[in-house]
Structure 1
Amino acid sequence: MQDFTKRANGQLDPEFGTAGLVRMQGIGELQERAFISALAPLPEGAVLVASTAIDFHNFYIARLTDDGAPDPGFRGEGAWRDDFGENAIVRLIHPLEGGGFLVAAQLLKGIALARYHASGEPDMSFNNGNKMILPISDLSRLKAFSGGEALAMAPLHSRGIPDSDLAGVQCVADGDRVYYAMDTFYGEYERLVVVICLTSEGVLAPDFGTDGYIIITLNGAIGPWSGFEAIALQAHEGGKLPVILGLVPEYDLGPRQGFVLRCQYDGSPDPLFGHAQQPQNPGVVLMPQAMRFSWALAASPSGSISVGGEAAAGAVAVCLDNSGGFDEVFNQGQPLLSLPPSAWTSATYVDGQVERSLMLAGTTRVSNGYNIALRRVAADGVVDPEFGDQGLLQLPYSFRPAGIADIYMDSRRRGSTYVAAEVELYRLLV
């Protein structure tokens, strides 16, 4: 076991892949162009990686050993192909206690969930065939809410996915549950967020909302809004509560202001969240900066929420306490302005032996394209000057110089952070 009592400065892990980098394309059955869309470290040191084909017809699941090599015990070649029978984007891969894992995906008009054994073989005891598909129109309350018609799914025009009819869906998991948040239209103008909770058995969780789902409508509270970018689960008494980050557009198409919403288990806004800032709008906290795009949301184990996004002056991060107030410990309750990287796209907490810190990822433009850029921020909001070059770590990105679609990070492996973009998977010592 490595000793991580002294924090590493973010160098690539020389014991992973080739000098800290694994390119997923070419592993096992993964021979076509596909982008990494989810990852999950395993307790024994391996990591599960889900990639979605660029035409959305197939997805690929790979398991890499601790040194980054394809695991030959994972259905033979370390990576294999599957599909949901229609266009899909994998949004989550989630290991289960006792072995096995779930794969959650968004579809054209609904959501999907599949369960596999630890070996990668389909778990045929799950829904009589390893997969389940839930069209949004199957939810009776949604049909009643929209006058008997199925809600129209909002087109996905963000997070690096090409324009298509696929719905914007984000996923997060906890224990044996998977939460899906989807952006929908009600009528011609009003937008809703629907959060659905499925158990690992493929059934709607009966103790969440109304028969396993909640409907969030905010137009009456904060004005027209343009959808959401992220969902997280925040530690709270009795469990974890859904937290959603959204955007409020301006009619002149100028900068958009963001908000953070915390719901109760019955779907109503949490009256204890944001009360000091907006007592007339329970559950909602408005962000102090005019954000534009590229949001990130991370809930810490201690109950705080960190939000990263891009403002006119550069990248901004803020931290909220459990009540929705701006955390006075984090940068004295003020937004943390950090010019590079130019756009935050991901955030994760690193729970190390020394202190808990926040990792933020984004991009910086260079002469021949873009670099992946990362910062490590301490609990008090101070950028770690020993991380990378004076607080900024840049990873050259070779696959597509024109830009980076999205960045995924995971710090559940002790002392390391995985960083994924398109086909490239890095492991950093942190």
Structure 2
Amino acid sequence: MTSSKEEAASKHPLRLGVAGLGTVGAGLAILLRDNADLITARAGRPIQITAVAARDRTRDRGIDLSALRWHADAIDLASDPNVDVVVELIGGAEGKARELVEAALTAGKPVVTANKALLALHGERLSRLSAAHNAPLLFEAAVAGGIPAIKTVREGLAADRILSIGGILNGTCNYILTAMRETGRDFADVLKEAQDLGYAEADPTTDVDGFDAAHKLAILAALAFGKPVEFDSVHVEGIRSIGALDLGFARTLGYRIKLLGLARQSERGIDARVAPCLVPETAPIAQVDGVFNAVIAEGAFVGRLMIEGRGAGAGPTATAVAADIIDIARGKTIPVWGTYATDVTAVRSRPADEWHGAFYLRLSVTDRAGVIADITAILRDCGVSLSRMIQHPSARSGDDVPLVLVTHPTEERAMQAARQRIAALDVVSAEPVLIRIETF
């Protein structure tokens, strides 16, 4: 009598073609080797890499890959008869990554990818290809690394109506904001440290300007609401304008500053935005520091839940990729966005100026009589009500000083109008810093 483990090992292996052997690709190969017995038992059959595509064949990746079939062109993996599943780890929304995924789906081969930009920009087309050719497309690793965010939303919350989704979706920005808060250093100094530690790329634009988080938010929103959100309609702001001064004032007010990606659905439509926000320091998400990510979902029945963990790195991301491969080995198939492909039509996020909430406004103003009266008059005329104000007096009259205003909830268009008029005052010496407040 054979055991279930022996029975699984005797089955035909699931053969993988892996495109891209960078940090994650090499990590996946090592994971499949080191945990082969465990993965075979959980998948119900062995899982093996049989073919790869990568630019540098001679690079030391920490594992011997010489016995594998190498393809000079990643697209060839889609037609390789000895490849059952294509794993795309090249990255990027266009070029070889997109061509390979589309070719594999068209050939009826399941695809596993960690490519958030590809899904955020081309999710509608890929979901239709997946359905038309009965080829699963799985992407657990595309959002928050090893955190099972995709499975939580697409499977764990499948029976509920999700009202909002989002969270801390970029570990680089979270590390920078955490270090700035804890040390009082400025953005540029902490960014260089993050680059030296390998947390930030040499060109950090995608991270610090919010686009990486926006790609992930677009994916989460599509899963939560059953339809892709057109990426160019997502409002995106980064953290370059946040200074150590803002983090200090936030602490005084009882808040912390986090770069959040948030999407909400209401009768008026979907709101999707990435921007720095003040959150109460007592809120669970305020305690998520360093390179950690956190995803928050709120359902009509389940209420609010939060999961957190490392959002990047070879180990967490490779584990998420392997989890998708195991699902395919088990024969598990789920529509890309959790709903019938015929119902999938991309929608636009509502304009950012329709957002409603409270705001933090930091000004640098000349310390002289009448300044506050002029500013509060503008707020009054724009229909903005003040909740709190912090003013640091200067040592000498006429010096520039910081002035912080916290508003009651108001329309963003009203707040932006007030900001523009205040910025035009001759007593305002620098561009005002405006940060939204999320109460959770």
Give TM class, smaller chain.
Answer: under 0.3
Task: Give the number of the structure whose alpha-carbon radius of gyration is greater.
Answer: 2
Higher-strand-fraction structure: 1
Taking structure 2 as the reference length, what is the TM-score of the superposition?
A: 0.27
Query: Which is helix-richer, 1 or 2?
Result: 2
Using CA pairs below 8 Å that are at least 6 residues apart, which structure has the higher relative contact order? 2
